[in-house]
Structure 1
Amino acid sequence: MRFDGQSVIVTGGAHGMGRSTALAFLREGAHVVVGDIDQAAGEALAEEAGEGLIFQRCDMSDERDVEALVATAVSQFGGLDAMFNNAGIEQPVTPSHELTEEMFERVISINLKGVFFGCKHAIRAMLATGGGAIVNNSSVSAFANVGGNLSYASSKGGIMSMTRVLAVEYATRGIRVNAINPGVIDTGMNRRNLDLAADPAAVEEKWKAITPLGRMGTGDEIAETVMFLCSPGAGFITGVGLLVDGGRVAT
């Protein structure tokens, strides 16, 4: 029960990596507030999880929604100890010279501005109680790319810079800020991507081929990584982007 009685927020927590992480924090004794734009999935998660997990609809591109999400954690559970800024969207594979302004702005608004809003209001809450831990979900795309995802990669690179700035700025005030950089993870989103592919088996084999460990990662592996970074065991770690990519960037 590493997080017994602690107050934790997970954004984008109704699906995939966020869902796995929210449930893992709950199992470890935390009180969890899940924010997600998918109200039906969020409410289903809250019903499944039972006592200790609250769902609140949250559009991460709307600062008022994010501020209200943090306020709920503070009012219901007495403060905020940890936050996983996980919510994000992908860019459909598009040649960069054909990328529209609307798509670029939408991806940046949710992926980068949303993390900024989450960090801003989490830090305000944590300063009031003496500190806490923030983990931002960046991506292996901040380091390794194959093209066709300019807005997504830009947003994830921006998250890495934001993480380092905040880590240095608040290090003496009890707040640690880190990021994770997942590779290909076996989530519902990636399964849907496979279903939409002309040759799903070939795409899955390609994903495995670029990953030295030869498989996709799991949501539970992401959850364990996030919880480690939020735990006292990572007390001397701040400002890092921890690759959870099966060795892809090492190649």
Structure 2
Amino acid sequence: MPRFDNQTVLVTGGTGGQGASHVRAFHAEGANVVIGDIDAERGAALAAELGTRAHFIRLDVTDESSWCAAVLAAESAFGALNVLVNNAGVQNPPAPIEKTDQATWSRILDINLTGTFLGIKVAAPALRRAGGGAIVNIASTMSLGGTAHYAPYVASKWAVRGLTRTAALELGRDNIRVNTIHPGVIATSFIHEPAVGATVAIADFYSPEPFAIPRLGEPTDVSRLLLFLTSSDASFITGSEYVIDGGLLLGPALQTEAA
């Protein structure tokens, strides 16, 4: 039997490279999927592609009323909400701190951090009504160290780690587990295309050649981990952080000839 039969999953940023992969993965495992995104055209198209058990709702993660509407839509369409994936996120154009304007700083934190905070705040009562569930916040390997020229993004994702741990403590007795996934360089438009206001993409700064596993990650790599963390197989895991980066953070894998 599929792992998510009779369960409802809300994925934010659900039309993006990773988001759409997560939506498809949950749907393939029997879940009802609610696709939350600001891109109505792509969201409606993905819901139509999946057909039954898929519903699109326009969701601005920075707006609490938009969150309330999304959670209500999930419960109205499918009866309950069991899983929340806080996947929506944006990148800042690379710039040193001294040349980063406050509007950019605020926009990145509003979406990446406040959006995650509001998701937990609004979805928690619905998960409690369902008898428990799981929340996974998608962070980044940039939340485990410093990265020059990406201060807003790094700060937002570091903060998501602390928010996740706090939520895990607050919600654990309600049978709601909260964890983070920290993807490395995943082959999506997020890293292959420049951020708004930028002329270079993140992929321009990374080559997978030194990685222990010398390739870029695929969205499905993250989706498979996400399915595990939100399933009953992970029922004793909360407040934990899962890095999926092909060994990026290990340092370079030096190639030497055998003696």
TM-score (norm 1): 0.94
Counterpart mapping for 1:206-225 below 5 A: 206-209=206-209, 211-225=211-225
In 2, Cα distance between equivalents of 1:211 and 1:183: 11
Counterpart mapping for 1:1-251 below 5 A: 1-193=2-194, 197=200, 203=204, 206-209=206-209, 211-251=211-251
SS of match in other structure, 1:207 = coil
The structure where helix makes up a greater share of residues is: 1
Contact residue 15 and residue 41 of structure 1 kept, 8 A: no
Residue identity opposite 2:237 in structure 1? I
For structure 2, the residue ranges without an aligned partner over 5 or more in a row are 252-259
For structure 1, the residue ranges without an aligned partner over 5 or more in a row are none
Alpha-carbon RMSD across the aligned residues, in angstroms, is 1.7
Percent identity of paired positions between Structure 1 and Structure 2: 39
In 2, Cα distance between equivalents of 1:95 and 1:161: 24
Residue identity opposite 1:207 in structure 2? S
SS of match in other structure, 1:176 = strand
Contact residue 135 and residue 178 of structure 1 kept, 8 A: yes
In 1, Cα distance between equivalents of 2:23 and 2:193: 22
Q: CA deviation at 1:5?
A: 1.3
SS of match in other structure, 1:213 = coil
In 2, Cα distance between equivalents of 1:210 and 1:121: 42
Contact residue 67 and residue 118 of structure 2 kept, 8 A: yes
SS of match in other structure, 1:146 = coil
Q: CA deviation at 1:210?
A: 5.2
Q: CA deviation at 1:218?
A: 0.6
Contact residue 144 and residue 249 of structure 1 kept, 8 A: no
In 1, Cα distance between equivalents of 2:158 and 2:147: 15
In 1, Cα distance between equivalents of 2:210 and 2:38: 32
TM-score (norm 2): 0.91
